[in-house]
Structure 1
Amino acid sequence: MEHSKIGNRGKNDTFGGTDDNTPILVKSDVANWLFAGINSGNLLLTIGGNILVIIAIFRRKKSRNSATNILISSLSISDTFVGLVFMPFQIAGVLGSNGLVTEFLCDSVMTASWTFMNSTVLTLLCIAVDRYRAIVTPMKPRVSVKLARWMILLVWLTSFVYSSSNIVFHSTISVTVPANGRNVTTINCWYIPTVEMIGIIVMTDFLFLYLVPLLVIFALYSKMIIVLYFGASPNDSGRRRKRQAVKMLIVVVVMFGVSWFPFRVLRMFRFYAPSMFKGTTFGFVRAIAMPLALANSWINPFVLAIFGSNFRREFADILTCRYRQARAEVQPARESRNRPKHLDEERCAGTRGEPHKLDGEHNLCPDRGVRTVAVQTEMANIGGPQHHLGPYDNTAFEISPLE
């Protein structure tokens, strides 16, 4: 029994058309469990890693006021929702949880999931444009936080409008086949249009949501590398930090291209050479290609932690709750700084004419010429006026050291 919005014009999964009417995933239980196991690990790493990134950015005001950080946070939010929405749906589908694969979930989950996944590559493109403006054209106005927010809004709207086609092109298909001496009915969320239309969708996705953006990003970063490593800029004291940040972002882009490449190629082969992937073979290839693509959602936090020293320190502070201890140490200094002036005047009333001496309460009597303020002395005890807390300098934390 089959049903669809467009009619009985093809049975296929999200990789493209096939002439094989048997639901592919029921042919290999091993491939199913492999797929579910890898995606379960992806789910945990994706949610944990990206929430850590979001907290690291938004818990400090100055990091929130960086256009690059705003764009990186959008990237992490997209990856988080890929884990929350798409991965559980995929796991339920291959394990035969037919109750979770309804018409409403098929439309809504596929639209939302592809919105999040498509926004990833578009956000990487925005980050490359932001860095290009800062490095190659430093004399021109940089991307502001306000503009970065508009860029994010445009990315999400574009991704949603494009991905909303899944409402028309996907539907639930129920098929009953013999397996292990009994009939097994599976319900899958599959593409349902004509084979020609599927070919257009697959080719459009590959060109405009993978190949073309990556080529543009490659061109932008190539120009940045030329400027940073071969350009003359004697007054640029932050060149070393800029190089490190560009390396970090290049690795993020490369990991995106590598992780999504098998999945994109598999979709192309599935449409143009369907005979190459039949039955169990396709099940195992899919069990590797799809989770590898989804693994990109948790790779970014690890890349940022490895290549970004500020990111690494923030992660350590958050995971060990060290920032709470730092705040507790800073609080007395803030209280001294905010202490009413008349308290210092009263304390100085009985010390006129005495030689200058700093006691435990930090004498601030004006007639002694003492210009040291209490907050400076107290902050010196915990690392100096730059808020050097413990072994780390967390002043003006920014995910990207380019700001």
Structure 2
Amino acid sequence: METLEEPGLCFPQLFNASCRKHTTPRSETLFIYILLSCMSVLTVTLNLLVIISISHFRQLHTPTNTILLSLGVSDLLVGLIVMPFQILLTEPCWFLGDLVCVVFFFFGFITVPASVVNMVLISVDRYMAICDPLHHPTKITQRRVQVCVVLCWVYCAFYSFVILYDNLKQPGRFNSCYGECVINIIGALHIVISFIIPISSIIVLYMRVFVVAVSQARSMRSHVAAVKLQRSLTVTVQRSELKAARTLGIVVAVFLMCYCPYFCVSLSGYNITMASSTNTFMNILLLLNSCFNPVIYAFFYPWFRKAIKVIVTFEILQPRSCQTNIL
């Protein structure tokens, strides 16, 4: 009977088949709960503002903002589903069943990669706008962008299904005991698709944008004697390019800061316990990118601040508010 009353087991009635509860300091657990809860609320709020702004105001219905809208949706789902799921994973035991465990991971492997792929699409759009501005309006059309966004989500759903196929086919097959939430994936494939290819693409595009921006700056200095109107236009273009280059530079820095710890440990082959503090910290850092994205991509634009003012003052409820001059 003492075994049945064993407090160190997740399911005492299952005897030795049950997992043992891992002990975590109460202060550390409370800190993680508060941090993840705040991250979840902030991520959902910021991305919801992005979604409402771009969806409601007609002036913002552009190809570039369509990608921003898709990014906002993916990051919103990260804050709404993945972050609360991460809170549950910090618990000593998993009580929701094997199927729920796999389903949560399935949605996680859709939303987080979708956020990364949308970042790549935005980098491509900015690259075309800066490096080939004459053909940008004809090549990056609303129709093509919408098709790319749909393909992005289809690709991420297919990727999630493929990488979790064995887990979906037989939920819980990789658990060593009752009370675990463990999945098995092809680590090399996950690292290449979710990290190496996206970050390589973003860095290459950013370097190209940076080179063009520097070239434009030198060209401007060499044509100081040009007519006043032409010089004014050159200054405007050069400033726009440098601003875009700075934005993409921040994107690369934040992406590396959030994703490098997780994937560097994965590349090293070092094995980390699922519910350990180290694993929790790396997952929190990775998810934090979805909270930073609306700040990087939206708060840098004046139209977003104007849109927020219209939303929070409830002017958005007035008739024809969708035609408000935001730009």
Q: Give the TM-score normalised by the residue count of structure 2.
A: 0.77
Partner-residue secondary structure (3-state), 1:188: coil
Q: Based on CA coordinates, which of the two structures has the bigger radius of gyration?
A: 1
Change (3 A) 1:36 1:153: same
CA distance in 2, matches of 1:35, 1:203: 29
Partner-residue secondary structure (3-state), 1:138: coil
Q: Of residues 306, 309, 312 in structure 2, which corresponds to 1:316?
A: 309
CA distance in 2, matches of 1:322, 1:60: 12
2:167 aligned partner: 169
Q: Of residues 39, 42, 64 in structure 2, which corresponds to 1:68?
A: 64
1:52 aligned partner: 49
**Quick check: 2:127–2:209 contact (8 Å CA) kept in 1?**
yes
Where do residues 189-200 of structure 1 align in structure 2 (5 Å cutoff)?
189-192=181-184, 198=185
CA distance in 2, matches of 1:285, 1:96: 15
1:259 aligned partner: 258
Higher helix share: 2
**Quick check: 2:50–2:298 contact (8 Å CA) kept in 1?**
no
Partner-residue secondary structure (3-state), 2:139: coil
2:22 aligned partner: 26
Partner-residue secondary structure (3-state), 2:182: strand
Partner-residue secondary structure (3-state), 2:181: strand
**Quick check: 1:46–1:79 contact (8 Å CA) kept in 2?**
yes
1:91 aligned partner: 87
| 1:286 has 2:279 as partner | yes
Q: Give the TM-score normalised by the residue count of structure 1.
A: 0.64
| 1:41 has 2:38 as partner | yes
Q: Of residues 96, 105, 113 in structure 1, which corresponds to 2:108?
A: 113
Displacement, 1:259? 0.9
2:3 aligned partner: none
| 1:303 has 2:273 as partner | no
Change (3 A) 1:174 1:223: closer
CA distance in 2, matches of 1:25, 1:314: 48
Aligned-partner residue type, residue 264 of structure 1: F
Q: Of residues 204, 225, 229 in structure 2, which corresponds to 1:219?
A: 204
1:371 aligned partner: none
CA distance in 2, matches of 1:22, 1:219: 49
CA distance in 2, matches of 1:32, 1:174: 23
CA distance in 1, matches of 2:21, 2:148: 39
Unaligned runs of 5+ in 1: 1-20, 177-185, 193-197, 332-386, 388-393, 398-403
Displacement, 1:267? 2.9
Unaligned runs of 5+ in 2: 1-16, 221-229
How many percent identity over aligned positions?
Answer: 22
| 1:147 has 2:132 as partner | no
Cα deviation per residue 1:73-121 (whole Å; 9 max; x = unaligned)? 101100111122222222123225744x223322222111111101111
CA distance in 1, matches of 2:120, 2:298: 21
Change (3 A) 1:323 1:240: farther
| Number of equivalent positions | 289
CA distance in 2, matches of 1:283, 1:96: 10
Higher strand share: 1
Displacement, 1:132? 1.4
